[in-house]
Amino acid sequence: KQEIKSAIDNVIDLRTASKSEQIFETKSNLHPVTKPMPKINAYSQTSGETKYVDDLSILSHQTHGAFILSTLARAKIESIDIEAALNVPGVVGIYLAKDIPGENNVMPKPFVVEELFADKEVVYCGQPIGLVVAESHEIAKKASHMVKISYADIQKPILSIHDAIRENSFHPKTTEDLVKGDVVSAIENSEHKITGEFEIDGSQFNFYLEGIIGNVEPTEDGYKLEITTQWIDNVQRCVSMVLGVPTGCVDVQVKQLGGGFGGKITRPNLIASAGAVAAHHLRRPVKIHLDLNDCMDIMGKRPTWFAKYKVGFDKNGKLNGIDYDWYSNPGFTANGSFAFLCYDFFDSAYKCPNYHIRQHLTKTNQAASPELRSPDFSASFIVNENVIQHVANYLNKDSIEVREINFFQKGDKTASGHSLPYIEIDRIVNELKETSEYYKRKAEIEQFNSLNKFKKRGISIIPMRYPMTYNLGYYNALVSVKHHDGSVTVSHGGIEMGQGIHTKVAQCVSYELGVPLEMVSVKSTNNLVNPNLFWTGASVTSELCCKSVLEACKILKEKLEPYRKDMPESYTWSELIAKAFSLNADLSAMYLQRPGKFDELMTYDIDAAACSEVLIDTLTGETQI
C-alpha cells in the first residue's frame, strides 16, 4: 500500500550536508569592522599551531594530579585508606580535606559553599574526595582507583525532581512568587480551561572539545596558573581562599579555550584549587587534565525541568490566566542555577493579564549543574510555548493563530513589569510566513501525512522576545603602542573560546586608530592587566570588550593629538608614534567598561522568529530537520 511504502525509507539516508547562510550589512566606512574576514588565528588553528593549555611545555619537576572520586551518592565517609595508592611507583603525594591549608570551599561569596574535597560525607556519585599526584597522568589515574573508601549510613539517593518532591528536598527559595492580577478568578471565569504537566530532560552536557585543564606552578612570590576558565577573577579568589593567601599572590592567565559554552565559568575552580593545594605541599608544578569522561563524572549537566499548569482562555485561544508550578533540578547545590531570571524571560512574545508562578529548586544527590549556553531559564520559554501549543491542540487550531492572538503589542508591559516601547514580533512573523512559504508547505505536509502511515511531517513557527542587557559586569582593555614601528598590542578582559573575540577587538583597534589590521596583536587575558573582571558569557562580553577597546583608543588618540600639529602634511602612523615617543609621550591607555557606562544600550529586547520543518519515523523515532 502507498501509505506504508515509505516505511522502508531510512531517515538517515535522507540527510544532506548541513548548510547555512547569514546576511548582514557591511559598511565600507567602518572597515575592518563589519567586513567579513577569517578569525585572526584561523590559520594557526587549522595548521595545529595554536597552543592551548594542554599544549604548553612541560615544566621541570612537573607532576600530574587525578581526583579520588566517591562511588556512592549519599553516605557518610567512615575511613579513607591511601596506603596502596601511596606505594604505587611514581606517586608523590595524596591530599585530602585535612591537607587544605585554608577553606575547604571552591565557591567564593556570594555563592553557597562547595567543598573542594568531601570531608565527612558524600552528596553525589563522582564527588572529589582527594587528589593523587604522580610523575605522570597515567600513574595518577591508576593510583586514584586504588584508594579504598569505607562508607557508613548509606542512604537511598535523591536522583530526580519527583524523588525530591516526595522527600520534600528543596534548596532555599531564591525568588518570591510572581503574582500578576487575579489568576484564580481569571481561570475560573474563562470559557475554556486546561491543566497539564510538562517535563524537560536535562541530559545535555557542555560539549567542549578541550576538557577542563589547569597547571599550577609555585613561584617565589605565590602561584601561577594556566587554566581553562571563562572567569579568571573567580579562579583567583577560590585559590586564594583554599590556600589562605592574599589574592595578589595568585596569578591567572588564559590565552584561549577550546570551547566553553558556560561549562568553564565556575567548574574549573575544582582543578585550580586541588592543583594549588598539591603545589603548596610539594613546591612543584601540578597539572590536572580532565577529559570529557572525567568532566561528566565530576561536573553536572543541564538541569531537568518539570512544570504543572492551569490555563484559562477564550474560544479564539486568547489567554486569560496561567497558574504555574516550576521545578528545576540544579543538583546538590544551586550555584549554577539561573532560575531566578525566569520571570524576565519566560513570557517571551506572549501577553497574559494574570499569572501566578511558584518556583522550586529541588535538592538532589547529583553533581551541581554548571552554567550552560542558553541557561536553565531558557526552559521557561519552552514550558510557555508548550502551553500555547496545548491551547491550540485543544481548540483544534493552527498554533500560529493562537500565538499571534497573544503577541505583545507596543506599550505593553511584561509579566515582570518591563515596558515594551517597541515590539517587532508581528512584523517578523508575517515576513517569515512569506519567506518560508509557511502555508504552502503546511498544505503539502497535510497531504504527505494523509498518504503516509509511518512517516510524518510537521512545520512550526516559533517567535521569541529576548531581553538583552549590558548592565552586567566589568571588562577592561589595555592598548599599547610600540615606538619602534607603531605596532599595537591589546589585552582585554574577555576570554577567547572560539567566538572570535580577539578578531573583533583587533578590528575595533584597527578602525579607531586607523592602522592596518596586521599591526594589531591581542595578548593573553591575565589578572595583572585585567583584574576584578566578570566572566565571559551571557552574549555581552565581545561587545563590552570592544567598547572598552574603542574608548581606550580614543584616550590614546587624545594623548597623540598635541604631536600631530608638528607633523608634516603627509605622515605615517609609525612616524607619528616615533615623534611622540621622542617627546616622552605615554603610548598606552586603559579603559574600564562597567555597569552604568553604556546607557544608550543598557537594556533592550531582541525580537526574532524561526520556522522549522521536521520529519519523524514513527517506527524508529529517527528525525530529520
| CATH number of the domain enclosing 623 | 3.30.365.10
**Cα–Cα distance for residue pair 244/221, rounded to 1 Å:** 14
Question: Which uninterrupted H or E stretch holds 489?
Answer: strand 488-492
- Among 400, 420, 440, residue at a domain's last position: 420
**Cα–Cα distance for residue pair 116/107, rounded to 1 Å:** 9
| Sequence-ordered strand ranges (E) for 82-115 | 91-95
Q: What's the structural domain count of the chain?
A: 4
Per-residue pLDDT of 313-338, as tens digits, reads 999 999 999 999 999 999 999 998 88
Tell me: do 532 and 563 sit in the same domain: yes
Q: What is the mean pLDDT of residues 88-111?
A: 98
- The β-bridge partners of 606 are 466
Q: Is the pLDDT of residue 309 over 60?
A: yes
Q: Is the pLDDT of residue 601 over 60?
A: no
Q: Is the pLDDT of residue 341 over 80?
A: yes
pLDDT at 374: 82
46 in a structural domain: no
Q: What is the mean pLDDT of residues 154-158?
A: 98
**Cα–Cα distance for residue pair 587/186, rounded to 1 Å:** 66
Buried-state track 277-296, b at ≥16 Cβ within 10 A, e below 16: bbbbbbebbbbbbbeeebbe
Per-residue pLDDT of 404-421, as tens digits, reads 999 999 999 999 898 999
Tell me: do 65 and 98 sit in the same domain: yes
Tell me: do 218 and 356 sit in the same domain: no
Tell me: do 69 and 211 sit in the same domain: yes
**Cα–Cα distance for residue pair 129/476, rounded to 1 Å:** 38
255 in a structural domain: yes
pLDDT at 158: 98
464 in a structural domain: yes
The pLDDT mean for the chain works out to 94
DSSP annotation of 25 reads -
Tell me: do 242 and 93 sit in the same domain: yes
pLDDT band at 76 (very low <50, low <70, confident <90, very high): very high
**Cα–Cα distance for residue pair 244/363, rounded to 1 Å:** 30
pLDDT at 395: 98
38 in a structural domain: no
Positive or negative: CA dihedral 107, 113, 119, 125: negative
Tell me: do 124 and 220 sit in the same domain: yes
Residue identified by cell 524523588 is 163
Q: Which amino acid is at 156?
A: K
Can you read off the three cell numbers belonging to residue 541? Answer: 562580553
Tell me: do 590 and 610 sit in the same domain: no
Per-residue pLDDT of 171-212, as tens digits, reads 999 889 999 999 999 999 999 999 999 999 877 888 888 999
39 in a structural domain: no
Per-residue pLDDT of 442-492, as tens digits, reads 999 999 999 999 999 999 999 999 988 887 789 999 999 999 999 999 999
428 in a structural domain: yes
Farthest CA pair distance, the chain = 90
Q: Is the pLDDT of residue 592 over 70?
A: yes
pLDDT band at 495 (very low <50, low <70, confident <90, very high): very high
Q: What is the mean pLDDT of residues 246-274?
A: 96
**Cα–Cα distance for residue pair 501/549, rounded to 1 Å:** 12
CB 141 within 8 A of CB 297: no
pLDDT at 23: 85
Tell me: do 387 and 512 sit in the same domain: no
Tell me: do 125 and 232 sit in the same domain: yes
Half-sphere exposure of 473 (CA within 13 A, CB side): 21
pLDDT at 597: 60
pLDDT at 461: 98
Q: Is the pLDDT of residue 599 over 60?
A: no
Q: What is the mean pLDDT of residues 503-529?
A: 97
Tell me: do 482 and 540 sit in the same domain: yes
pLDDT at 600: 53
Q: What is the mean pLDDT of residues 45-58?
A: 93
* Region at 115 (left for phi over 0; alpha for psi -120 to 50; beta for the rest): beta
- C-alpha dist (Å) from residue 570 to 97, 575, 581: 68, 10, 19
* Region at 498 (left for phi over 0; alpha for psi -120 to 50; beta for the rest): left
**Cα–Cα distance for residue pair 521/486, rounded to 1 Å:** 12
Percent of the chain topping pLDDT 90: 84
pLDDT at 383: 95
**Cα–Cα distance for residue pair 395/403, rounded to 1 Å:** 13
* For residue 110, cis peptide bond before it (omega within 30 degrees of 0): yes
29 in a structural domain: no
Residue 239: domain span: 54-154+207-298
CB 368 within 8 A of CB 332: yes
**Cα–Cα distance for residue pair 22/462, rounded to 1 Å:** 19
**Cα–Cα distance for residue pair 11/1, rounded to 1 Å:** 19
373 in a structural domain: yes
pLDDT band at 603 (very low <50, low <70, confident <90, very high): confident
- Among 241, 263, 298, residue at a domain's last position: 298
**CB contact set of 1 (below 8 Å; sequence gap of 6+):** none
Tell me: do 232 and 244 sit in the same domain: yes
pLDDT at 235: 98
CB 362 within 8 A of CB 334: no
In CATH, what number is assigned to the domain containing residue 278? 3.90.1170.50
**Cα–Cα distance for residue pair 485/577, rounded to 1 Å:** 8
**Nearest CA-CA partner of 145 in 202, 200, 88:** 88
| Backbone phi, psi, residue 592, to 5° | -115, 115
**Cα–Cα distance for residue pair 248/613, rounded to 1 Å:** 55
**Cα–Cα distance for residue pair 152/74, rounded to 1 Å:** 10
Q: Is the pLDDT of residue 598 over 60?
A: no
Tell me: do 125 and 218 sit in the same domain: yes
pLDDT at 602: 59
- The β-bridge partners of 369 are none
CA angle (305 as vertex; 301, 309 as ends), nearest 5: 170
